[in-house]
Chain A
Amino acid sequence: MTLNILIVDDSAVMRAMILKTMHMTDLPLGEIYQAANGQEGLDVLNQHWIDLVIADINMPVMNGEEMIDRMQENPDTKEIPTIVVSTEGSKTRIERLQYKGVRFIHKPFSPEIIRDTVRDITGVGVSDE
């Protein structure tokens, strides 16, 4: 199985860094889609099959938390594994996100954290160890 991944971050450099990090892991990557805010992310989700969403929180137009809420309201997207990659340092906010079922990775991150979290949340690549 390959993973179709949507990366949502208003920083093109951060999207490229996450993508580079994904390529550094041995995860089986399929199509990679990118979006600069939550609304663009929802548009991509409406048009393509996505196995995993990696999203920032603080973004213009629509932030990551609102995008996640909208995903969870939609039967087609509510089960998609989602990882938030953010600078958010508030325990209150992080716990609120985790309560919604998403995983949280703090910026700056290491490739190993990304790889292990993706493996854990999707189950992909675990049996290849």
Chain B
Amino acid sequence: MSEQLKEILSIVAGETLEKLAFMFSFPEDERGTMILDSAVAATISFAGPFSGTLVMTVSNQLLPELAANMLGVDDEETTLDQQHDALKETINIICGNLLPAIAGKEVVFNIDAPVIIAGVEAIKEAIEDHDNKPASIVKLNIEERDCDLFLFINGKFTLAS
């Protein structure tokens, strides 16, 4: 089931990045966890038939490009607020599309507002400070930059057929 979950997360993230920001992503399973010194993260929690958290860490260098592509402007024209807003909207859309892909379209989830996490220790906490190990980790290469997704699920869950 973990492989199926990983595939679903990878596909949903890839499709979201492509449609939202015209960015193509490629799985990088062999890569280690990205260097957090130059990363920023966003986290979003959800509750429904099962609860959990999705954490997305991205290279600092990817942020301006993500925001610029979403806004249709040049990288250097984006502010840090816009870059963080772009990351929050991206994880929000990934999570919103991921949950029905996992649990089916009949069930209802409540999704919290996404939150930006900056700083190595805070990001480490977001990735590690959970009761369970991640149900799935997806490592992506986006425009030669790193992006990691960690999906934490509390308790048992089943994949919709």
Where the two chains meet, the residues of A that have a C-beta atom closer than 8 Å to any C-beta of B are 10-14, 16-17, 20, 58, 60, 86-93, 107-110
A/B pair count, beta carbons within 8 Å: 62
Q: Is the CB of A93 within 8 A of B108?
A: yes
B60 → chain A, closest Cβ, in Å? 17
Counting chain B residues whose Cβ lies within 8 A of the other chain, the interface size class is 20 to 34
21 A-B pairs with CB atoms under 8 Å apart are A11-B85, A12-B82, A13-B70, A13-B71, A13-B89, A16-B70, A16-B71, A60-B113, A87-B97, A87-B111, A89-B101, A89-B105, A90-B105, A90-B106, A92-B106, A93-B108, A107-B20, A107-B93, A108-B15, A108-B93, A110-B19
Contacts of A17 in B (CB 8 A): 70-71
Contacts of A90 in B (CB 8 A): 100, 105-109
B42 close to A (CB within 8 Å): no
B residues 61-119 touching A (CB-CB < 8 Å): 67, 70-72, 81-82, 85-86, 88-89, 92-93, 95-97, 99-101, 105-109, 111, 113
Q: Is the interface of B mostly helix, strand, loop or mixed?
A: helix
Q: Which residues of A contact B16 (CB under 8 A)?
A: 108
Residues of B within 8 A of A87 (CB): 92-93, 95-97, 111
Alpha-carbon distance between A29 and B19 when the two chains are bound, in angstroms:
24
